[in-house]
Amino acid sequence: MTDQIFAHIDEEECRRFQASVELAGRKWNAAILLAGARGARRFSEYQSLVDGISARLLSARMKELESEGLIERSVEPTTPVSISYTLTVPGKQLISLLHPLVSWSRARQSDAHSQ
């Protein structure tokens, strides 16, 4: 039965899927998206919610997530300039898709500790 479910997936779809999994699974990206889902808007809020990441790496990852269309950067021309970040619709969709994976990993970890 499983073979029938996946029979229609061609190589191009497989490559797109792999690229998406690698983007979501890249170190810090899921934590950054989760921080946005938890309400972070300013860079400093992201940095305090993503424990252990350097400012330089956070900046690089946020630029990557922005270029991928998962977060949106807004600049308000105030003095000083105010920059905020929000999850886009695709970013929110990705977070919702990660929930089952989090549940699976939690159950897997519980199983490993009970053995």
Query: Which structural domains are found in the chain, ordered by start?
Result: 9-114 (1.10.10.10)
Model confidence over 79-89: pLDDT tens digits?
Answer: 999 999 999 99
User: 56-91 burial by CB neighbour count: b if 16+ within 10 A, else e?
Assistant: eebeebbebbeebebbeeeeeeeeeeeeebebbeeb
Model confidence over 4-20: pLDDT tens digits?
Answer: 666 677 888 888 889 98
Full-model pTM = 0.81
Burial class (CB in 10 A: 0-12, 13-18, 19+), 24: middle
Beta bridge partners of 87: 71
Distance, in Å, from the CA atom of 107 to the CA atom of 103, rounded to the nearest integer, reads: 6
Model confidence over 17-53: pLDDT tens digits?
Answer: 899 899 988 999 999 999 999 999 999 999 999 999 9
